[in-house]
Amino acid sequence: MSSTVTINVVGLSCDTTITKGFRNDQENPVEVVVNWFHSRANVYSLVAQIGDKIIEGKSVESSKANDTYDDAVASSRTALLGALENDPLLKERLSFSLGNVPPHCVCSVKLSYVEELVVGAGCLVKIETPLTALTFSGGLKNTTGETTVSLNLAMPRAIIGVNSTNEEFIKSKEGLVGETLGMEFISSKADGSFSASVLLTPSVPVMLTAVRLPSTPSPEDTNAVVCELSYSKHLAIKDSSVSTMDTDVDIIFIVDQSGSMSGKKITQASNAVALMLASLPIGCQFNVVGFGSDFGSVFETSRAYGDETLALAREYTLQMGATRGGTRLLPPIQFVFNTCKESMRQRPLKLFVLTDGQVDDTVSLLQFVVQQTHNTPACVFSFGIGNDVSRNLVSGLASASGGKAVFITDKDEIEGPVLSQLAAALGSTTRNLGIEWGSPMDKVIPAAMPSVLTEEMTATQHTISRSESTISATITYTGLQTPLQINATALSPMFSSLLGRIAAAREIKALTDLDNETPQEDIKRKVIELATKHNFVSRYTSLVAVERSSTASVDGSMTSVVIAVPVVASQIVVPTSTSSSSSQASRKHHCHKHKALRTAPDSSSSIPASAVRKGNFVVMNGHIVQVTETSTSKTGKHGHAKMHITAIDPSTGKKYETIETTSSNIDQGDIQTQEYDLLDADSSSDLITLLESDGNTREIILKGALLEKARRIVQAGGTAQVRVARSISIPDLETVLSITSTDTPDDVLSQPTPQPQPQVQSQPQPQPQVQVQPIPVPQTQPQVHSSSATSSRMSPLNKLCFLQKAQGYWELNSTLTDILEAALSDATSCGDTIITQITAHFAPSVSQQTKHNLWATALAIAALELLHKDQETQWKLIKAKAVQFLQANISSPTALEQFITNATTFLTTHSPRCRH
């Protein structure tokens, strides 16, 4: 038996059906609970086959569905439940439960959902199916040996090609006719996550699809025409001659200055902000915010980008230190959205968050970001700094807001990723998007398109008409018009109801979003009515089914097996399966898991949550921690009590918390302890070197007070034994428990050491009136280019970029010529000669000082080309600003080109560095 996946796509609407099989190898009945997350999925069908019996979920109000399921399970009947559950990190996760699966019974589960796809760069549409990665474990055996994916496409424009992005999926069958394609992929694995990319022909930035429905769940919708109109800049042919940089935008940098950012992390963050500040365009608004236990900002509100504001921000960037104690990111995020609330109506808001990810308010933070960025031109670009970053947080910020996440390890160069993110953030914005339909529509969902769209966004509107066969529409955007006309198509049955379901799902979502703003009983009633009509899982409805035959009762005491499906790449980054077939890279990634997404560990390395006791070592959030407190809550709606577990990481003092059902498995990680001799403690990094019993050495990351203790022992010439806890089942997961020295003087060890960061329990923060503590800044414009910190903390490329003024020019001074390794007198003399030669091409108002600045700018551009060609992606925005400055002051393109050529010639003859 194989896992089967059927994917049907019409326009940007996608319908996916997945079938997975398993066998209960236990001697008792089990309840299988599968948690998964797909931010765009709308589940409309859930079917289970238990032996030769089939049960199919029906959408009813959630409270009734829960009661029906609980009653059936309590009476030893097999039952099925599909629901949305609140999850702190993922907002709402999808979950399905199959209760009272008989011992040694072979079963299968078939789940169907619809979703809206988005268009990526290069007219590329990506399809992802996270449930194909589902692996049954914990006493359950997979009965599927391979995965077969059937992909069927009906597009309103020509398909250039389709490729699977997973190497294990091999294309086995393909047929392509114009805009319709059918193909098949096969993988020998039963748990491979499938994704595919569909490349379309670029033309205008709009796609219009119209489908006549032969039948729908409701008779009054029969023969209705459903239209889907989608707008995305990625659908259009790119014109490389037109600048796509958006200057009317708010750019806010939020930088972690907590104690955990000490050392190389804060240096990396400082360099990242300095480079982005130098690359911002004239016309934008910006601000820099630093946070820890408290927070402050360079400006009380975002300010226009210019020389004075840039100098102030640069000065603060040079003074950054890991001096703000703990890590509370929610208050500064609230401050930014509060101060930019009005401006977001006119221009996009881009937040750049740089952190090591160890914050204490993750739940409230992500919920707040989701709320603030929904249906607004605001998104978060997040950077995870250092090797110990929390990937769930960093990826969660980007995923919740439609932004992007980048992880920068201690060994990585940061400039390339940083500039790629900034370039994406400054992509051109579409404004005043509107649609005028040629004839009245019975339904238009949503009623209006977003007024402001960034380059990454895809806007889609669905309509339903019962009178028209020929559909026409005119879409307007940023002063342009695109008229469209299409005949309604009668597609094959596998496509026929897809757009109808998508339209219903959009209507449910619109009502749910409205209910978020103002909860109302009549909105809830409309959601329930629509969801039950189309058999959807929603906030207020669930799918439920019960096996009711006379022989349906199952004997024995039921146990629960909780399984989590890894999140797809475009969502939050989480571990893949921990099965023996996983790759080494995947198993290393396992250390970043979150409790809500954890695959049930093997019984040999896990215990029920109810068995966890104070003092136990367990694995939480990818860290070995020691339990300090446990408490049990009352039984919930599904008959499961909750266990609240609090633990501490012994090496950092950081507190971790989780809430699980008492029957859930808690990973113990097969933790073993071992002692090593301390050899060295690096004074410039978070690494200590240990001596193993066989004479080999190894390094381990250490932080906080224990790291300071290790350094003092080494500096004093003492010896020490380091006790380390390691996980046998999770490679590379380890932590230092203690460091003991018998020959180091007490006065050395008793000196005050930095304490672990205070960890404040996450509390929902009120949005209004956040108190801002402005960061102290110089009252006069600082001469930051002469700062010694610039020389010690910036790469040669960054030093050069750092000198550029906000308007895009460099000044001709010794600081610039020292970087270029040329004499200031030679540069000035040669510049005066070149300036005299092209005097006729300067604008009449150009002063002699400006002419020298033009020459300095040409020298800087030439140096970028000569010295840093292999790093061009890092300085493209810097050069673009410089060229604009030159073009504004030199009227002749030929003279401008010769001006830069002369600068290149000067450097190659007068600078030893450029000559070679």
Q: Are the C-beta atoms of 50 and 101 separated by less than 8 Å?
A: yes
- Say whether pLDDT at 732 is over 70: no
- Say whether pLDDT at 185 is over 70: yes
Per-chain mean pLDDT for the chain? 77
| Side chain identity at residue 624, one-letter code | I
Beta-strand runs (E) in 469-564: 470-477, 480-487, 541-546, 559-564
- Say whether pLDDT at 314 is over 50: yes
pLDDT at 791: 46
| Token pair of 59 as six digits | 């959408």
Could you report the per-residue pLDDT of 534-568, keeping only the tens digit for each? 999 998 999 999 987 756 577 777 777 777 665 44
What separation in angstroms does the CA of 603 have from each of 228, 600, 608, 670? 49, 9, 9, 11
Q: Which helix (H) or strand (E) holds 123?
A: none
| Token pair of 73 as six digits | 């399970």
- Say whether pLDDT at 762 is over 60: no
Among 452, 352, 331, which residue's Cα sits nearest to residue 404?
Answer: 352
| Side chain identity at residue 657, one-letter code | E
- Say whether pLDDT at 817 is over 90: yes
Beta-strand runs (E) in 575-616: 606-608
pLDDT at 786: 36
Could you report the per-residue pLDDT of 490-542, keeping only the tens digit for each? 666 667 678 888 989 988 888 876 665 556 788 889 999 999 999 999 989 99
Confidence of residue 710 (pLDDT cuts 50, 70, 90): confident
Beta-strand runs (E) in 11-105: 13-24, 30-36, 42-50, 53-56, 58-61, 79-87, 91-101
Could you report the per-residue pLDDT of 671-702, keeping only the tens digit for each? 777 888 888 887 667 788 888 766 677 888 88
What separation in angstroms does the CA of 457 have from each of 211, 229, 436, 513, 638? 24, 14, 20, 18, 39
- Say whether pLDDT at 214 is over 70: no
What separation in angstroms does the CA of 157 have from each of 122, 477, 485, 714? 14, 21, 13, 68
d(Cα 910, Cα 106) in Å, to the nearest integer? Answer: 80
pLDDT at 620: 81
Question: 435: which strand partners?
Answer: 475
pLDDT at 673: 79
pLDDT at 110: 93
Where is pLDDT greater, at 496 or 915? 915
What's the pTM? 0.59
d(Cα 382, Cα 425) in Å, to the nearest integer? Answer: 12
Q: Which of the residue ranges 36-40, 109-113, 675-679, 901-905 would you say has the lowest mean pLDDT?
A: 36-40
The residue with tokens 């038996």 is 1
Q: Which of the residue ranges 9-18, 457-466, 786-795 would you say has the lowest mean pLDDT?
A: 786-795
Please give the share of the chain, as a percent, with pLDDT higher than 90.
21
Q: Are the C-beta atoms of 727 and 673 separated by less than 8 Å?
A: no
pLDDT at 828: 94
Taking each helix axis from N to C end, the angle separating 872-889 and 893-910, rounded to the nearest 10 degrees, works out to 130
| Token pair of 200 as six digits | 């379309």
- Say whether pLDDT at 175 is over 70: no
Residue ranges of alpha helices (H) inside 354-414 are 362-373, 391-401
Q: Is 857 left (phi over 0), alpha (psi -120 to 50) or beta?
A: alpha
Q: Which of the residue ranges 217-221, 493-497, 799-803, 808-812 would you say has the lowest mean pLDDT?
A: 217-221
| Token pair of 284 as six digits | 């934008």
- Residues 858-867 have a mean pLDDT of 93
- Say whether pLDDT at 240 is over 80: no
Confidence of residue 92 (pLDDT cuts 50, 70, 90): low
Strand order in the sheet with 470-477: 434-437, 470-477, 480-487
Confidence of residue 586 (pLDDT cuts 50, 70, 90): very low
Q: Are the C-beta atoms of 477 and 133 separated by less than 8 Å?
A: no
Q: Is 540 left (phi over 0), alpha (psi -120 to 50) or beta?
A: alpha
- Say whether pLDDT at 718 is over 90: no
- Nearest-5° Cα angle at 283, 279 to 284: 65
Could you report the per-residue pLDDT of 819-853, keeping only the tens digit for each? 999 999 999 999 999 999 888 888 888 899 999 99
Residue 711 makes CB contacts below 8 A (sequence gap 6+) with: 681, 683
446 cis-preceded (ω within 30 degrees of 0): yes
